[in-house]
Amino acid sequence: MLAIAAILPAAHAAAPMARSQAPGFYRLMVGDLEVTALLDANDPWPEAIDELFPSLTVEHKASLRRRTQAQPSNDFSTIAFLVNTGKKLILIDAGGRGSAAGYGQLFDNLKAAGYAPEQVDDIYITHMHPDHVFGLADGKQRSFPNAVVHADAHELPQWQAAAAKGNKTAQAIVAKLAPYISAQRYQAFDGDTRFSPELKAVARYGHTEGHSFYVIESRGQRMHFWGDFVVNDKVQFELPEAVPPGEKDAAQGIALRNREFAAAARSDELIAGAHLAFPGIGRLRSLGLNYIWVPVDYAAIAPATTTP
Ligand SMILES: [Zn+2]
């Protein structure tokens, strides 16, 4: 023991703390499609989580507080998803750069994930709230110069109408779309639409007038992009009756959540949400009348094999 101690170097000075996180991207394959979740922001909830769902009972609130208050406050992720079909590079939502402090990390994370904004061919927007579209443009400059932006035809008119009445947020939203519209790089679709064998939109109006799901599929595997249909994984899966802020028709929202959650649990297919804890991807399991969110695990991806 003494001999070993004698050859050990003298103690180092304390190492400085790195104080940075791993790059905010997570990748998985869905059949032959490569999906990359891109973190745009982490935002602490502005209020205690249970206060955001005023319809909850006192018992529910107490149980949620016990289970969630021990978590770090960064409960609210904003995530965009990149899908490489092998022929096209597709972005689902564009993040909220400039909408609030800390938003816009999507661009660094896209680069860290091995891609550049110029490579994006198509952007599919779930809805046009600032945290989903502000990343589209910087002033009049398109941030994705080669991309065509797609959204449901019911979405933009509501913002244009509010903008015309002087609503500042709506004006800012419309300004983010404008550079694509004037370059004839904006295409609206009407309700359920199939774009290719790998991609379709499903109308899921409610959160906004043209809110859409997107579904990708390859080799029998599917992944459903739910946008803001569910905004908190710690509350809404366990309690589908919890009404999120801003929901206009509560009864319709609850019925729709119950229907979609049951279908997702039955199918065992992957769900991706724009504000679920990063990377926002997982599956649902049913538990009586409620559901459990099972997030994906971190895992390596096997390199592509070339067939001779
Ligand atoms: Zn959102």
Q: What would the pLDDT profile of 123-167 be if each residue is shown by its tens digit?
A: 999 999 999 999 999 999 999 999 999 999 999 999 999 999 999
- The reported pTM is 0.91
- Number of domains comprising the chain: 1
- CB-proximal residues (5 Å) to ion ligand 1: 129, 131, 228
Q: How far is the CA of 228 from the centre of ligand 1 (A)?
A: 5
The verdict on residue 5 lying in a domain is no
pLDDT, residue 28, reads: 97
Omega before 9 within 30 of 0, i.e. cis? no
The verdict on residue 302 lying in a domain is no
Does residue 134 contact residue 160 with C-beta atoms inside 8 Å?
A: no
The verdict on residue 285 lying in a domain is no
Q: Residue 136 belongs to a domain with what CATH number?
A: 3.60.15.10
Q: How far is the CA of 232 from the centre of ligand 1 (A)?
A: 11
201: which strand partners?
193, 214
Q: How far is the CA of 54 from the centre of ligand 1 (A)?
A: 19
Per-residue model confidence as pLDDT tens digits over 205-230:
888 889 999 999 999 999 999 999 99
Task: Compute the distance between CA of residue 210 and CA of residue 190 in angstroms, rounded to an integer.
Answer: 9
The verdict on residue 150 lying in a domain is yes
Residues spanned by the domain of 211: 24-225+270-275
Structure tokens at 107: 């661009």
HSE value, Cβ hemisphere, 13 Å, CA-based, for 168: 1
pLDDT, residue 296, reads: 96
Q: Which residues of the chain have pLDDT under 50?
A: 70, 72
81: which strand partners?
37, 92
The verdict on residue 204 lying in a domain is yes
